[in-house]
């Protein structure tokens, strides 16, 4: 494992995981309320805090609100370093209430599968006929319904980026334009970005995903070949900026062994 | 005034208050203070047909499912938070091994609201969450309706009353009055929603200690049926101010639960063959537990309740 | 990371954040920590057409009504808790002196639920309370409906979002993060329901003091617009750990507000002519305030947030 | 005032207020959950705790729950002595939730007016044509709707005990039998006793008030003459038991100057 990572780092100076975390961190604007999900986003929030978004405020579904970044790597949001010195340790209901009030600018999610319109499945997965049980929503459905913007992190595989997901755990743009409002979801909500191992997808006004950037060394064809539908490509397609030295320093000071940034 | 003391051993508390078929709330404080010692006693006493309730449960639900104790799970997330999926959950839901388990899928917020409604004493609480999702379509306890005060579409989250809530706390007195701090999750509503509450405490302290800070007494003794003194009972999950999270233990469980026969060996070693937490901690090893000990204390500023 | 400090004087905070016509939540902690110094600054700055919101308010609402600041009151109880009725309320509602005031009558629970609904971000919360009462018939923010999950009759309590909530707290830092203990009332929901929050603190402490106990930080700084350091600002109501209740002051107000001209003299003496709390406390007399001082401190047991 | 009180005490050994507080205290059974209202009931709860109901639990609408009685006289439920050493200091919503869950056995109320069926008015009072504004419900309506039993304390005057109240702040038995259930109120709820300055009224299965006992020295005729409707009298009408020496000792240790027990 370590050698594979080392070769990535030798080749480009960073790992895929580090690139994804940096890209996720950049989705946070300074001073924003951020609903921080499990895993990579916990690291992305700290990177944002230590670089361009020092005034961002982190909300965690266990009831925690933090303005100062955790001094240590977090394996879960309830790890002791994340509680000490927090702005507030309250109830889950209280942070979810801030989300439902519309105060949360951006929320981060993971998922097993995503479709053309950004709908997420993390409950029942289907692969070549077989049904797989996945862990479930956690807070993902709540964030997907109620945050002003949602950012999803996902490994880019044809079996994960599907034309249609079998089960909509967390609604994206449903079947497209106007669908969310018709469901009764807040007007100001929905997917903003899908950050994968190959690139970054964003969403058009019709709610369909568009390839906005490819990661360094990744060809557009590779992305299309690994996507389960005919993915649209932005006219002004760009290359995902590599992690800055500041971003890498922030990540590596917390995660030198690449627990989250493989 | 002398109330009946509720102090008892874990086997007594589980035997007396958690029968087979019960709906049990576990893991109310999310990734902290998960009552592993209580859950593992449920396995040792061979409980069956339990309904497991909790937003997330880290690997405790996976163990109970793998041991065949549960017939139904009402949760938002079941797996291994730092290591990945729960293999016992997958075997049970995909192959019925060791038995079929019905999944009633919530989101974290709707689980919190279901317990909140029960704590408030109303049949439901409304939310905008889950609109447009298949959780709403598939979970019969979530129902779309139109707001009686405006035209908004809303989801009515039906109240949920567990038979028993098991809470791991930092300190309690013999009457069950308990202080919890740090990660609260759904503990406050969960405990008030439940018909009975079992408190598992790191420390039993004098009633005066608890009474010195009534704002921190999140568990009032009058809702508590049993108090169990079981230090280390939350391992491998953390207890703020007492011990940290044993991340490796979660990774080891992940590796050792992937294959059925490995899981059966793991269960034998860590649950079936260890009569209680003392034996469990001995098997874990003093050095390893010491690694999780508090390195730097950080005490709260005092609040003056004087007059 | 340096956030903009929000510390300002009471006149600045009231001038900046509480315009005439605003809906203002006061007295959220019931009979404790009533923000009298803020309410009296509203009178001095001549606010008009305020909507006063609060479950009970002891004599603060009566003073604001008597001074002609309010055109509407949304409350469960307006009077003088230890001494009886509020004479200014009676003059305003019965004779329109100094002006007419519309009363929107709640019960304590329905007021708490109206703020809770706003804090939760939903248009209403259901309850069984007020069924069969004239509060339900007369208050348009209470509406009977049938539960979507069973056949029960319920009352939908419409969410209520005050423009400003003014909270008196024991201690806060310059960013507005505050510790409150003792009597909480509807403070937590009220503060989250409001569009803006003004914190009035007995003490301004270092951020580290507040951060040492995040479970007691019931007011997070990010909801706070202004922080005012105003020791003694809650007198004659008590602040746990700082000073007791001045029962005589309530009785004196009762006697001196019965007749209009007496009330006008009282208002002149205790509000109009005192520019700030320092002057107010000087007029009250050091001896009298000393009578209310804490005789015996009672500090909370520490909670360890270390790891 | 003091002289009037002294003469009462000389004549009978206690004041009217003391008799009412003792009668109220006896409505509390040991171990019960008691929703303690403002004023006299605060004293009645302490008397019950110190005499026959040491295990009673007191709930206060400011969010307080107490199992040990306050060591000092309370002028309001949020007085500092009532908070120190409490079982729990929480939110109003939390104690009201226990009430709505049906856990509260008995709740105490005051009111300006009561009618034949125990409906209470504390909002808009009418006396000889004139409208009077009263303080309002406070928690009274909530307790009257949701407690298993309610006990009301009131000065016995014809203008207060009325055939009909103008405004139902806190519902009693409405228009009689079956009315509460028809409104949707909990099956197990409603008025249990009305303790006045002249006697104690209880309620028949039809929801109408019945004179159950008269205070020592009070004739049934006095009660009827001061009641605004033709009050039914129980066949087994009794005399209200005088306060015991223990009850008086408990009250007077807290309220030697008769602030609440005039």
- From the list C122, C148, C303, the residue facing B216 with the nearest CB is C303
Contact C75 D136 (CB under 8 A): yes
* Residue of chain D minimizing CA distance to C29: D62
CB B81 within 8 A of CB A38: yes
Q: How many CB atoms lie within 10 A of CB D235?
A: 5
Q: Say if residue D248's pLDDT is above 90.
A: yes
| Residues B246, B260: Cα–Cα separation, whole Å | 23
Q: Is the peptide bond before B98 cis (omega within 30 degrees of 0)?
A: yes
DSSP string, B89-144: HHHHHHH-SSS--EEEE--HHHHHHHHHHHHHTSSEEEESTTTTSHHHHH-TTEEE
Contact C149 B124 (CB under 8 A): yes
Question: What is the arithmetic mean of pLDDT over A34-53?
Answer: 92
Q: Which of B87, B96, B102, B108 to mutate to test the interface with A (most CBs of A within 10 A)?
A: B108
Task: Please pick, among A61, A113, A208, A247, the residue that the annotation labels catalytic.
Answer: A61
DSSP assigned state of A79: S
- From the list B215, B240, B296, the residue facing C181 with the nearest CB is B215
- Give buried/exposed letters for A156-193 (b at 16+ CB in 10 A, else e): beeebbbeebebbbbbbbbeeeebbeebbbbeebbbbb
Decide the pairing of beta strands D209-214 and D232-239.
Answer: parallel
Q: Say if residue A91's pLDDT is above 80.
A: yes
Contact A89 C120 (CB under 8 A): no
Contact C213 B301 (CB under 8 A): yes
- From the list B121, B214, B305, the residue facing D97 with the nearest CB is B121
Binned at pLDDT 50, 70 and 90, residue A9 comes out as confident
D149-154, strands of its sheet edge to edge: D88-89, D64-66, D57-60, D33-35, D106-110, D149-154, D191-196, D199-203, D209-214, D232-239
The residue written with tokens 């568990």 in the block is B219
Side-chain-side CA neighbours of B64 within 13 Å: the count stands at 35
**A177 to A190, A204, A206, B179, D178: CA distances (angstroms):** 11, 9, 4, 50, 53
Q: Which of B82, B85, B91, B109 to mutate to test the interface with A (most CBs of A within 10 A)?
A: B109
- From the list C89, C128, C152, the residue facing D133 with the nearest CB is C89
User: What's the pLDDT score for residue A38?
Assistant: 82
The residue written with tokens 């001095």 in the block is C44
Q: Say if residue D198's pLDDT is above 50.
A: yes
C294 touches chain B (CB under 8 A): yes
- For the stretch C28-69, pLDDT in tens is 999 999 999 999 999 999 999 999 999 998 999 999 999 999
Token pair recorded at residue A51: 């670089």
Question: What is the arithmetic mean of pLDDT over A150-156?
Answer: 96
Question: What is the arithmetic mean of pLDDT over C95-107?
Answer: 98
* Residue of chain D minimizing CA distance to B175: D87
Question: What is the arithmetic mean of pLDDT over D216-238?
Answer: 97
- For the stretch D23-43, pLDDT in tens is 999 999 999 999 998 888 889
- From the list D78, D141, D179, the residue facing C133 with the nearest CB is D141
Cα of D202 to nearest chain B Cα, Å: 28
Contact D101 B217 (CB under 8 A): no
Q: What is the 3-state secondary structure (H, E, C) of C178-191?
A: EECCCCCECHHHHH
Token pair recorded at residue B94: 């995909």
- From the list B120, B121, B220, the residue facing D87 with the nearest CB is B220
Question: What is the arithmetic mean of pLDDT over C8-21?
Answer: 98
Contact B76 A76 (CB under 8 A): no
Q: What residues of D are annotated to the active site?
A: 61
User: What's the pLDDT score for residue B1?
Assistant: 45
CB D196 within 8 A of CB D154: yes
DSSP assigned state of C239: B
Chains A, C in contact, 3 or more Cβ pairs below 8 Å: yes
Q: Say if residue C134's pLDDT is above 70.
A: yes
Binned at pLDDT 50, 70 and 90, residue C281 comes out as very high
Q: Which of C5, C115, C116, C121 to mutate to test the interface with A (most CBs of A within 10 A)?
A: C121
Low-confidence ranges of chain B (pLDDT < 70): 1-4
User: What's the pLDDT score for residue D129?
Assistant: 75
Q: Say if residue C1's pLDDT is above 50.
A: no
Question: What is the arithmetic mean of pLDDT over A32-50?
Answer: 92
Contact D80 C245 (CB under 8 A): yes
Chain B segment 175-204 residues within 8 A of C by beta carbon are 179, 181-182, 184
User: What's the pLDDT score for residue C68?
Assistant: 98
Question: What is the arithmetic mean of pLDDT over D130-157?
Answer: 96
Cα of A105 to nearest chain C Cα, Å: 14
Cα of C10 to nearest chain D Cα, Å: 26
CB C80 within 8 A of CB C253: yes
How many angstroms from the chain centroid is the CA of residue A235?
24
C245 touches chain B (CB under 8 A): no
For helices C260-267 and C247-256, the axis angle rounded to 10 degrees is 130
Provide the number of CB pairs (under 8 Å) joining chain A to chain B: 180
Touching subunits of C (3+ CB pairs, under 8 Å) are: A, B, D
For helices B59-66 and B87-95, the axis angle rounded to 10 degrees is 40
- For the stretch A185-234, pLDDT in tens is 999 999 999 999 999 999 999 999 999 999 999 999 999 999 999 999 99
Q: Say if residue D130's pLDDT is above 90.
A: no
Q: Say if residue D185's pLDDT is above 70.
A: yes
Binned at pLDDT 50, 70 and 90, residue D10 comes out as confident
User: What's the pLDDT score for residue D127?
Assistant: 72
User: What's the pLDDT score for residue C132?
Assistant: 98
Contacts of C113 in chain D (CB under 8 A): 93
CB B144 within 8 A of CB B154: yes
CA angle B79, A185, C145 (to 5 degrees): 100
Q: How many residues does chain C have?
A: 307
Decide the pairing of beta strands A124-127 and B164-172.
Answer: unpaired
Q: Say if residue A118's pLDDT is above 90.
A: yes
B127 touches chain C (CB under 8 A): yes
CB B289 within 8 A of CB B244: no
**Maximum distance among all alpha carbons in chain D?**
50
Contact C220 A65 (CB under 8 A): yes
């Amino acid at each position: 494992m370590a050698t594979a990572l080392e070769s990535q780092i030798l080749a480009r100076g960073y790992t895929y995981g580090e690139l994804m975390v940096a890209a996720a961190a950049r989705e946070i604007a300074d001073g924003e309320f951020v609903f921080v999900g499990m895993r990579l986003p916990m690291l992305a929030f700290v990177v944002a805090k230590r670089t361009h978004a020092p005034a961002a405020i982190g909300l965690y579904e266990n009831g925690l609100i933090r303005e100062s970044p955790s001094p240590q790597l977090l394996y879960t949001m309830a790890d002791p370093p994340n509680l000490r010195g927090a702005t507030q340790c309250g109830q889950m209901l209280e942070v979810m209430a801030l989300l439902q009030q519309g105060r949360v600018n951006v929320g981060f999610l993971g998922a097993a599968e995503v479709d053309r319109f950004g709908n997420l499945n993390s409950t029942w997965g289907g692969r070549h006929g077989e049904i797989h049980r996945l862990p479930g929503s956690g807070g993902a459905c709540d964030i997907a319904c109620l945050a002003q913007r949602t950012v999803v992190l996902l490994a880019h595989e044809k079996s994960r980026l599907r034309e249609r997901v079998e089960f909509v755990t967390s609604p994206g743009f449903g079947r497209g334009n106007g669908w969310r409002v018709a469901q009764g979801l807040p007007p100001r909500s929905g997917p903003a970005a899908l950050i994968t191992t190959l690139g970054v997808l964003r969403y058009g006004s019709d709610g369909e995903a568009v390839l906005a950037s490819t990661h360094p060394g990744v060809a557009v064809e590779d992305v299309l070949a690994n996507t389960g539908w005919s993915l649209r490509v932005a006219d002004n397609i760009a290359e995902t900026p590599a992690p800055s030295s500041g971003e890498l320093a922030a990540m590596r000071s917390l995660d030198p062994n690449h627990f989250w940034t493989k | 005034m002398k109330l009946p003391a509720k102090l008892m051993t874990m086997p007594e508390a589980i035997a007396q208050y958690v029968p087979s078929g019960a709906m049990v709330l576990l893991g109310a404080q999310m990734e902290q203070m998960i009552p592993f010692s209580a859950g593992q006693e449920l396995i040792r006493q061979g409980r069956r047909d339990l309904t497991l309730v909790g937003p997330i449960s880290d690997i405790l639900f996976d163990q109970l499912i793998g041991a065949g104790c549960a017939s139904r799970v009402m949760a938002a997330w079941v797996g291994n938070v730092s290591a990945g999926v729960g293999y016992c959950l997958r075997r049970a839901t995909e192959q019925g091994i060791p038995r079929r388990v019905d999944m009633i899928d919530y989101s974290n917020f709707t689980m919190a609201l279901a317990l909140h409604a029960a704590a408030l004493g109303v049949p439901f609480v409304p939310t905008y969450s889950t609109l447009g999702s298949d959780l709403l379509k598939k979970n019969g306890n979530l129902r779309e309706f139109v707001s009686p005060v405006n035209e908004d579409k809303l989801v009515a989250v039906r109240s949920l009353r567990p038979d028993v809530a098991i809470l791991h706390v930092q300190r309690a007195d013999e009457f069950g009055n308990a202080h919890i701090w740090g990660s609260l999750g759904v503990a406050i509503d969960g405990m008030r929603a439940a018909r009975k509450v079992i408190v598992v405490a790191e420390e039993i302290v004098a009633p005066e200690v608890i009474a010195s800070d009534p704002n921190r007494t999140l568990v009032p003794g009058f809702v508590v049926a049993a108090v169990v003194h079981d230090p280390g009972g939350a391992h491998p999950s953390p207890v703020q101010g007492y011990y940290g999270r044993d991340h490796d233990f979660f990774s080891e469980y992940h590796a050792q639960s992937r294959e059925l026969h490995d899981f059966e060996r793991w269960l034998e070693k860590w649950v079936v063959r260890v009569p209680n937490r003392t034996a469990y901690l001995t098997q874990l090893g003093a050095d390893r537990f010491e690694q999780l000990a508090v390195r730097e204390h950080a005490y709260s500023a005092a609040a003056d309740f004087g007059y």
